[in-house]
Amino acid sequence: MTRQQKTTPCLLFAVVSIYLQDVVAVTVHRLDTTGQCRERIMHFKDYAVQQGEPAALKCPILQHYHLNFNMASNLSLHLTWYKNDSKNEINGVDSRIQAQEDLLWFLPATMDDSGYYACVLRNSSFCIEVAISLTVVKSNDVALQDIAYRQYIFTLTSGYINCPDLNDFITNDRDLDLRWYKESVPLPQLSKKFEYVVGSNKLNINDVSPADRGFYTCELRFTHRGKRYNITRVIQLQTIDQEKRSHPVIVYPNHKTIEAVLGSKLIIPCKVFTGFGRHSGTVVWWLANNTLVDRNSFHDSRVTEGEFQKITENGRNYIVVQLIFVETREEDFKTDFKCIAKNEYGSQVLPTQLRKAASAFSWYTVVVPAASICLIVGVLCLYKCRKSRAQKDYIQAKL
Backbone angles phi, psi at 13, to 5 degrees: -65, -35
Per-residue confidence band for 376, with pLDDT thresholds at 50, 70 and 90: very low
Cβ–Cβ under 8 Å, residues 131 and 361: yes
* Residue 232: closest CA among 215, 218, 247: 218
Whether this model's pTM surpasses 0.75: no
* Residue 325: closest CA among 372, 250, 282, 266: 266
- Say what the pLDDT of residue 14 is: 33
Mean pLDDT for 345-369 is 71
- Say what the pLDDT of residue 219 is: 93
> Is a pLDDT exceeding 90 seen at residue 284?
yes
Per-residue confidence band for 277, with pLDDT thresholds at 50, 70 and 90: low
Per-residue confidence band for 257, with pLDDT thresholds at 50, 70 and 90: confident
Per-residue confidence band for 369, with pLDDT thresholds at 50, 70 and 90: very low
**Neighbouring residues of 63: CB distance < 8 A, sequence distance ≥ 6:** none
- Say what the pLDDT of residue 390 is: 54
Quote the CA–CA distance of 204 and 315 in Å, as a whole number.
Answer: 13
Q: Beta-strand (E) ranges in 123-213?
A: 127-137, 149-154, 159-162, 178-182, 185-186, 194-196, 202-205
User: Is residue 383 helix, strand or coil?
Assistant: helix
Cβ–Cβ under 8 Å, residues 282 and 343: yes
- Higher local confidence (pLDDT), 368 or 215: 215
Quote the CA–CA distance of 112 and 135 in Å, as a whole number.
Answer: 10
- Say what the pLDDT of residue 16 is: 29
Backbone angles phi, psi at 367, to 5 degrees: -65, -40
**Across all residues in the chain, what is the average pLDDT?**
76
List residues bridging with 238 in a β-sheet. Answer: 152
* Residue 161: closest CA among 200, 215, 202: 202
